[in-house]
Structure 1
Amino acid sequence: MTTATRTRPRAQVGRGTRRALLVAHIVASGAWIGIDVVLGVLVFTALSADPAAAALCLQVLPLLFWPVLIAGLVSLVTGIALGLGTRYGLLRYWWVAVKLVINLVLVVLVALVLRGGLDEAAVRGAAGGPDAVEGLDTLAFPPVVSITLLVTATVLAVVKPWGRIRRSA
């Protein structure tokens, strides 16, 4: 059996559709990074500012949940569509597979973990006082980790390292 007979024909998207998906993917990913930067600025400001400013920063945090989740989901959906509709595939190249895993992990963490932390921070901020930020230094990790992984995914998309994933026959 030759390679040509073993591979399924791939449904390729047209040039215009591919470009639209690529633009949406880049914009969503850029928005995601930007929202994470804002989240980081608010968290670090809350941890280092006077109690009144800290309380205000903490109360604003939950407003970022839906934008970051939507940006992550749009990035995920457009990335999957690009993978399925272009020559790169979802699991043909290591760099695409790693980007997919990064996106999936971050979206799941945002949906399942981040929301609770942001809501707790808002409650503490509303209560005010010098103890509002006590124990909330763990909120510094999500934006740092997310930005690091999203920049890594961006570098992977540009550099395209590691080549194809080998498939056993």
Structure 2
Amino acid sequence: MQAPVSGRRKEPGRAGENDRIIRILLAAFALLAVVTTVSLGVDSGRGPIGDTGLVFYPPAAVGHAILAHYYGRPWARPVLVVTESILVPLQFVLSIPSNLPLLGMLLSGMIAVLLKPRFPQLSPRSRKLFLWLHVGLSVSWLGLSMAMLVLSLVGQFTDDRVLGHDAYRIMHLFDLVIVIPMVFLAIVSGLVVSLGTKWGLIRNKWVLTKLILSLAIPSVAGFQHHWISRLTERTADGATTDPGGLAPVLTLCMAGYAVILWTATALSVWKPWGKTRWGRRAIEARRGRPGGAAPSAGDTAALRAVAEGPAV
């Protein structure tokens, strides 16, 4: 059973500064949504995903402007927690025709972190289910990154015009049909496992590092998608065997993805570096006792279990 956090008090100055930052980020998102709407509106080749963004961003701009004005009201925080949690993965998908949603995804993620939402703990059965999903999806993501690296190398170095074009076509197909859903589901399942257990999202250095590494890939994916499309067009009809200077850039990007995902896998296995300052504060808050009473031996064992987290 989770101990109540009763000994922790908010510092007014810090809370006020946090609220100001959230208001600034909300206003920045509203402005970015307007810019994204204009950018998609003048792009004749935006496609169906771009059309979806063109419908989505105008009300998002108005909604975030309203939330920036009324933030601090009791209803604003829960609305923001739900909204930004949905917008982070949604904007990853919307970034296919334009890179601007990647910046919106970053702003939504920063707002979500500053809100410090609390989520109910998963039951043991649910934790195992989501952990199973997360491990399977993460391993699949790693496998896809290795396959994309091999295809990129083939496209860059082959002398066979048809083979080079087909390699980039397969990469384009993988990117749209398999990779994007896999990345989305792997990140979401990881968030559920982190937020629904004692590990938390920012309490342990290895979890926070893994989150940053995982979000770094979608942050570049919008550019990478356009690179693959250009290389597919450039090598169409066997017009040339030279994909140009963009090919090594794409290969380097795919190699970077593989290194990041192997690093994230190592972090999941070894769990290094201990607690962050937020994790240490949470432990100190749980150790607080009214009247300065010392914790019992049983309480000490329970606190040690909380500090170590559940075995994953």
Q: Same fold (TM over 0.5)?
A: yes
Residue 132 of structure 1: CA displacement?
A: 4.1
Aligned partner (choices 127, 133, 144) of residue 24 of structure 1: 133
Structure 2 partner of 1:96? 207
Structure 1 partner of 2:6? 5
Identity %: 25
Matches within 5 A, 1:59-138: 59-66=169-176, 67-110=178-221, 112-135=222-245, 136-138=247-249
1:121-164 per-residue CA deviation (whole Å, 9 max, x = no partner) reads 11112142335412222110122111101110111111111101
Question: Which SS does the other structure have where 2:194 is aligned?
Answer: helix
Task: Give the partner amino acid of 1:165.
Answer: T
Rounded to whole Å, the distance in 2 between the matches of 1:107 and 1:9 is 25
Task: Give the partner amino acid of 1:123.
Answer: E
Structure 1 partner of 2:164? 54
Deviation beyond 6 Å, 4+ runs, structure 1: 7-10
1:48-87 per-residue CA deviation (whole Å, 9 max, x = no partner) reads 2122321221222210112112111111101111111101
Task: Give the partner amino acid of 2:150.
Answer: V
Question: Which SS does the other structure have where 1:57 is aligned?
Answer: helix
Rounded to whole Å, the distance in 1 between the matches of 2:253 and 2:216 is 12
Rounded to whole Å, the distance in 1 between the matches of 2:225 and 2:271 is 33
Question: What TM-score do the two structures reach when normalised by structure 2?
Answer: 0.50
Question: Which SS does the other structure have where 2:6 is aligned?
Answer: helix
Rounded to whole Å, the distance in 1 between the matches of 2:171 and 2:134 is 25
Question: Which SS does the other structure have where 2:243 is aligned?
Answer: coil
Question: What TM-score do the two structures reach when normalised by structure 1?
Answer: 0.89
1:3-42 per-residue CA deviation (whole Å, 9 max, x = no partner) reads 8414698621011111111111111111111111111111
2:234–2:240 CA contact under 8 A, matched in 1:
no
Residue 108 of structure 1: CA displacement?
A: 2.3
Rounded to whole Å, the distance in 2 between the matches of 1:9 and 1:40 is 38
Rounded to whole Å, the distance in 2 between the matches of 1:33 and 1:9 is 30
Rounded to whole Å, the distance in 2 between the matches of 1:49 and 1:14 is 52
1:57–1:125 CA contact under 8 A, matched in 2:
no
Structure 2 partner of 1:36? 145
Structure 1 partner of 2:43? none
Task: Give the partner amino acid of 2:225.
Answer: R
Rounded to whole Å, the distance in 1 between the matches of 2:188 and 2:217 is 13
Segments of 5+ residues of structure 1 without an aligned counterpart are none
Measured on the aligned residues, the alpha-carbon RMSD in Å equals 2.1
Using the TM superposition, name which of 118-127 and 154-163 deviates more: 118-127
